[in-house]
A and B are shown apart, each in its own frame.
Chain A
Amino acid sequence: MGQSLLEVKDLTIRFGGIAALAGVDLTVEEGELVALIGPNGAGKTTLFNCLCGIYRPDRGEMRFAGHDLRGLRPDAIARLGISRTFQNIELFRNMTALDNILLARHIHMRVGFWDAALATSRWWREEVRHRARAEEILDFLDLQAARHRRVADLPIGQQKLVELGRALALEPKLLLLDEPSSGMTAEEKEDLVFRIKDILEELGITIVLVEHDLKLVMGIAQRVIVLDHGQVIAEGTPAEVQQHPDVIRAYLGEESLS
């Protein structure tokens, strides 16, 4: 069996007396779109925060493309090729949409301090090269009109897209999307489904999707993993998971089964 892109084994993290993650095992294969669902407080965002290096897990293993993620700083993990969006938008509020996206080109910048300070021709070339790349992303997400606007002034749906664009600008191998559709209108959600499919198929980026809109999840996910109380309670195709008694119990309560 070949190596998986992401392997998580026995991942555990406690906050005080509460185990936010209690021995999570999961793998993500290259080119897959895996949805991560579960009730509020199940540990979905905590898992993302561990993978990004924001939280340090107490126990367990995380391997990404052959690298051990434990103990790495978030910026080192970004360099390995993991990018993400945030549940509650974490944009650079006072920057333009363009600058937000350009910021994520940071790890691809091939110029140093002195090139920037003295505005050498090398710096100009590099800056223009990344600007062209950022424009491609703005085109891809239909954000051209927002290019020079301060992101805090954009509607929530567009802010979500800018955040998606920023995550793509990093050119990740693995993209972690934390509730990308929350706050979007029905039409924006529809567009989002096509964009996520394009990211997967055209850009070839593996995606892990945390999402509360189950209709959206069931439409695009190839595999669904269900978390509850920090544990994986079910895993399978969308159809399998929907029938799983533990999942129904977690979402709807004990009585709903009888």
Chain B
Amino acid sequence: MELRERYEEDLALVLGLPAWLGLLVALAVLVLFPLLAPRYLVYIVTLMAIHILVAIGLNLLTGYTGQISLGHAGFVAIGAYTAGLLMVRVGVPFPFAFLLSGFSAAFFGFLLGLPVLRLTGPYLTIATLGFGIAVHQVLTNWEGLSGGRMGLFIPKPSIGPWTLASEAALYYLAVGTTGVLTWIAYNLVRSHIGRAFVAIRDSDVAAEVMGVNLMVYKTLAFGLSAFYAGVAGALQGHLLGYIEPQMFTLFESIYYFSMIVVGGLGTIPGSILGAVLMTILPQVLSGLREWLPIVYGGTIIFIMAVEPWGLYGRWLRIKWWLKTWPF
């Protein structure tokens, strides 16, 4: 095993020449991808990036802080509608509407975090479930605000004189945003903030006695998680060009939840892996649309029973086994 001599090396996200080269190659592939791949694949990878955002946000709340949310489609919806309505009805330029989509979702996440501070376990899950359903119902029935079932057409985003109309442009927008927010998530989880999240998950009493303010950090986890979901919602609206309440149901919340369970709770690579796989799965099973809820539910149960740390946990174990082989 390589020896580390400085504390900074333990903190580094990318350490050593091979890791840096790997990162550079990965970035180059991501940049060149839309120039070489067919449009359909570019669309799928854009969708993956959006799902990665939701999954990382959800994992910060559920995997790291231990607060299960089955209402994340609600935050995605709030982000999508904030960006859409601000641009369509108010005429706010895209960059501001985009940023506000994250902050408005974060605001609602913070609001939801306050009353659920006192709830744990299944009661918290039910509260978040109720939140998700409530958002869906409000969007469906308050037609004056959302356009109801008729939906809302979302204009193509434009920054100054440039309109991001092509698949490639949306791809760069989504992948770039996801890249930056993934980096921020990595930074947060290796800092005192990430430690406070995990401490709350493992023992909230001890966390509090050791000086962690539960109210601040639980509401922060909710707000942060919702921010990621909200930004993802705005991107999804731009990608599809159209949003309607049926896109943000309980089924979507469970879909997002299955991503982090499959990939690995409490890890960022796990969130990415889970989101990628669960984006591919419905494409592969496109002939079996009506069976998808059963596939997701079954997968969650299977992974929980067989590999609670998800596929990323299994990968870590295989890596460890190879490293120590033949002992």
Write the residues of chain A forming the contact surface with B, with a CB cutoff of 8 angstroms.
52-54, 73-75, 77-79, 83-84, 86, 90-95, 99, 102-107, 109, 111, 113, 116-119, 123-124, 127-128, 131-132, 135, 166, 170
Report B215-234 CB contacts with A as 1/0, cut-off 8 Å. Answer: 00000100000000000000
Q: Are A116 and B192 in contact (CB under 8 A)?
A: yes
Flag whether B196 is at the interface (Cβ < 8 A).
yes
Shortest Cβ gap from B194 to chain A (Å)? 8
Taking residues whose C-beta sits less than 8 angstroms from the other chain, chain B's interface range is 20 to 34
B195 interface hit (Cβ, 8 Å): yes
Inter-chain pairs besides A78-B209, A86-B206, A94-B202, 11 sampled, C-beta below 8 Å: A53-B209, A54-B209, A90-B203, A92-B202, A93-B203, A94-B198, A102-B192, A104-B211, A106-B195, A106-B210, A131-B11
Interface residue ranges, B against A (CB under 8 Å) = 7-8, 10-11, 184, 187-188, 191-193, 195-196, 198-199, 201-203, 205-214, 220, 266
Specify the main secondary structure of chain B where it touches its partner.
helix
Contacts of B11 in A (CB 8 A): 124, 127-128, 131
Can you list 18 A-B pairs with a CB-CB distance of less than 8 A? Answer: A52-B209, A73-B208, A74-B205, A74-B208, A75-B214, A78-B209, A83-B209, A84-B209, A91-B202, A94-B266, A103-B192, A103-B195, A103-B210, A116-B192, A119-B191, A127-B7, A127-B191, A132-B7
Within 8 Å CB of A123, what residues of B? 187, 191
* Residues of the A chain whose Cβ atoms lie less than 8 Å from the Cβ of B213: 73, 75
The answer to whether A92 and B206 touch across the interface, beta carbons within 8 angstroms, is yes
Give CA–CA (A26, B208) in the complex, Å: 25
Kindly list chain B residues whose C-beta atoms are within 8 Å of the C-beta of A99: 195, 198
* Beta-carbon contact of A92 and B203 below 8 Å: yes
With contacts A109-B192, A117-B188, A118-B187 known, is A93 near B202, CB below 8 A? yes
Contacts of B187 in A (CB 8 A): 116-119, 123
In-complex Cβ contact of B210 among A104, A124, A131 (8 A): A104
Asked if residues B198 and A95 are in contact (CB atoms below 8 Å), the reply is yes
A170/B211 in contact, CB under 8 A? yes
Q: In whole angstroms, how far apart are the Cα atoms of A78 and B199 in the complex?
A: 15
**Contact status A103-B193, CB under 8 Å:** no
CA distance A132 to B195 in the complex (A): 17
Chain B residues whose C-beta falls within 8 Å of the C-beta of A170 in the assembled complex: 210-211
Task: Determine whether the beta carbon of B209 is less than 8 Å from that of A74.
Answer: yes
A128 to B8: give the CA distance in the assembly, Å.
7
Write out the residue numbers on chain B whose beta carbons fall within 8 Å of the beta carbon of A54.
205, 208-209
